[in-house]
A and B are shown apart, each in its own frame.
Chain A
Amino acid sequence: MRLTLTTVYAAMVALALLGGCVEGGQRADGDAVVTDTVVTDTTTGRVPLKHRAAAAMCDDERSTAGPDIPGGAGAPVDCTSHADCQSGDNGRCVGNSHDGWYCTYDLCFADEDCGPSPKVCECGGGFRSDHNVCLHEGNCRVDADCGASGYCSPSLGSCGDYTGTVGYYCHTAADECVDDADCAGEPSTFGSPYCAYNPTAGKWACSNQQCAG
């Protein structure tokens, strides 16, 4: 069931009361003065189940199990053992019969390893694996980036569960959902519907898009 929204007017009032939910500065751009960051506020009063209160260092612990590549595998096989993966930190040969077997490495240990904000180092966030990866999409790193009482949450992308978290986005007063459970009952061709940030609409909304895999 979809979350009922507050009105735009109520959101504006809330923003005024909170005073300064607009983070960052203002800069001149040609003849206009524009703000740098997104005005956000969750006026629903709900705390998302998943949100990033603070950045954390990622560990360098990775499973040493596998790979268990079945004989006659039809998918591409780029490696057959972890020892084949020596081109980065903590290399492991991972995969499955759909996507093939390939080397993965810890690509970061802290957000700063990925570049400037809002890029995030997602601990253990590798595609169907446990390596640390950089997420290049998003508009926040931590809750504080979203203003007072704001929340910065991980979002799936247009491929849904298949690709996992693609970036962190602020919740907004216009959100149509806060958690995946708010989208239960939405129609779906396969997989489960989920609450994700819609980059066109600029808000969180239920989605049922999935990709094969």
Chain B
Amino acid sequence: MSSRAAWVGLALLAACTADAPLSDLERGAAYVSDPAYRRAALERSLVAPDNGYSALRLERYTEASWGALPVWNPRARPVLVSDLGGPVPNPGVDWEPLDLDVPWEEAALSALGARAFSAYPAQVEPALLMALTDADAPARFGLWVDGDRVGGLVWAETPGGVQPAFSCASCHAIPRDDGPGLVLGAPNHAIDFGALLDASHSAHTSAGRWGPGRVDVTPDDVDNPTVIADLRAVRFQRDLNRAATISNDLMALTVRLETAVITNSREAVRPPRELAFALAWYLWGLGDALPALPADGAGAAVFARECGRCHLPPGLAGPPVALAAVATDPTVGESPWRGTGAYQTTSLRGVARRGRLLAGGAIDSLERLLDPDRVDGGHRYGQTLDDADRASLLAVMRDLR
């Protein structure tokens, strides 16, 4: 019997035992094996069942619909610097799907999630060919180069031939500023997906105005690009999506990742469920490395007074806040697709590595956010501090990276 099968058995046994909460791995096993369990996880997580995002999932997250989609785990390999300027490669003998046969253990699942984060073709996007035309092309569109890897991109073998694809790391990783390597999970606020789309079609669309670090992901006939999220802090978020569309927990995140791959493919494929849980498990652990706010000191005291009402320790996140209260651009929060009438109170763990702040990315630095002379952008909290308190607050927040 495989280890996962053993976990499934234990999960089912525990589920039948009253008042016996499942461990995280038992919950993951139940998600993989039990349609009713994952359906219940979806339903619990959706804050506003009537918005488009939720309604679509409630309609189609069934065994007969999305559950029947072919599983997507193609032969693939990373896009390399040596590919730049060359033709689309043919699949080689070294192209492999991700190996999902791992022990159902914390370390093994985290390792699988880490591999998937940078190597799983989460979204096929032919427009990426424009970012691979020459050695300088990746930088034109804000794609990082780390060693021989280009932007976390992946060549994926599809039934119609090889296509370029984003991995999670394409948008959710940035080069380290203290040496080689990447900060995995941090938002890539340099990537300009809109410019890439325009370049591929020689077009001049509103996507070209998203700007670096922002993407409009909602099919709601509204221009409402959202800033790319910092996934390192996902464990601390009380809600997922800027409009607080999803009540967060490990299972909600797993389902959210699963359905993202489905909708990214225009409902053509679904990811292996083991992979979806492994990814969620991996992301859940990224928060361990994020510095916490100091317990005392001048900056901590100012934070508690000015920010702590909404950004609650230790995660520095909190319940959603009404759009009118935070008074930022409401366009994202009012989206017919994801809107809930409120915004996520985003965790500030890691905030110093984010190039854009607030849901639409209107503010480009902590200093600007707290600038007493700033009149645009909303979120007025902290703008009335005196110079000393502002300096103390900025000092502790700059360490949250």
Residues of A within 8 A of B (CB): 27, 29-32, 34-38, 76, 95, 98-100, 102, 104, 107, 126-127, 133-139, 157-159, 162-164, 166-167, 169-170, 172, 174, 189-191, 197-203, 205, 207-213
Say whether A212 contacts B202, CB under 8 Å: no
Say whether A164 contacts B201, CB under 8 Å: yes
Say whether B159 contacts A203, CB under 8 Å: yes
B23 at the interface (CB under 8 A from A): no
- The residue on A at minimum CB distance from B336 is A189
Count: A-B pairs, CB below 8 Å:
145
Q: What's the least CB distance linking B5 to chain A, in Å?
A: 30
Cα A169 to Cα B158 in complex, Å, equals 14
Contacts of A102 in B (CB 8 A): 204
Q: What's the least CB distance linking B228 to chain A, in Å?
A: 17
A134-B202, A157-B201 are contacts. A199–B219 as well, Cβ < 8 Å? no
Say whether B266 contacts A31, CB under 8 Å: no
Cα A105 to Cα B265 in complex, Å, equals 33
Residues of B within 8 A of A (CB): 52, 72, 90-94, 124-127, 129-130, 158-161, 163, 197, 200-207, 209, 216, 219-224, 264-266, 268-269, 337
A29-B90, A162-B205, A205-B268 are contacts. A200–B158 as well, Cβ < 8 Å? yes
Contacts of B206 in A (CB 8 A): 98-99, 211-213
Q: Which of A27, A31, A38, A107 is in CB contact (< 8 Å) with B161?
A: A38
What 19 new A-B contacts, CB under 8 Å, besides A99-B206, A198-B266?
A30-B92, A30-B94, A34-B91, A35-B90, A136-B201, A137-B129, A137-B200, A158-B266, A163-B205, A164-B201, A166-B126, A166-B127, A166-B200, A169-B160, A174-B159, A198-B268, A199-B163, A200-B269, A212-B222
Q: What's the least CB distance linking A130 to chain B, in Å?
A: 13
A159-B207, A212-B206 are contacts. A127–B220 as well, Cβ < 8 Å? no
A32-B92, A169-B160 are contacts. A189–B219 as well, Cβ < 8 Å? yes
Cα A102 to Cα B205 in complex, Å, equals 11
A159-B197, A174-B159, A210-B219 are contacts. A36–B204 as well, Cβ < 8 Å? no
Say whether B160 contacts A202, CB under 8 Å: yes
Q: What's the least CB distance linking B99 to chain A, in Å?
A: 20
Q: Which of B72, B129, B207 is in CB contact (< 8 Å) with A200?
A: B72
Cα A158 to Cα B203 in complex, Å, equals 14
Main secondary structure of the interface of B (DSSP, over half): loop
Q: What's the least CB distance linking A112 to chain B, in Å?
A: 16
Q: What's the least CB distance linking A18 to chain B, in Å?
A: 18
- The residue on B at minimum CB distance from A38 is B161
Cα A134 to Cα B127 in complex, Å, equals 13
Say whether A136 contacts B90, CB under 8 Å: no
Task: Provide a sorted-by-A list of 20 A–B residue pairs whose CB atoms are within 8 angstroms.
Answer: A29-B91, A38-B160, A95-B204, A99-B204, A100-B204, A133-B201, A138-B126, A157-B127, A157-B197, A157-B201, A163-B205, A174-B159, A189-B337, A200-B163, A200-B268, A201-B158, A202-B158, A208-B219, A211-B207, A211-B216
Cα A98 to Cα B200 in complex, Å, equals 20
Q: Which of B90, B200, B265 is in CB contact (< 8 Å) with A36?
A: B90
Contacts of A209 in B (CB 8 A): 219, 266
Contacts of B160 in A (CB 8 A): 38, 139, 169-170, 172, 197, 199, 201-203
A127-B203, A164-B201 are contacts. A201–B223 as well, Cβ < 8 Å? no
Cα A35 to Cα B161 in complex, Å, equals 10
Say whether B201 contacts A202, CB under 8 Å: no
Contacts of B159 in A (CB 8 A): 172, 174, 201-203
Q: What's the least CB distance linking B254 to chain A, in Å?
A: 21
- The residue on B at minimum CB distance from A201 is B268
Q: Which of A30, A127, A136, A199 is in CB contact (< 8 Å) with B205?
A: A127
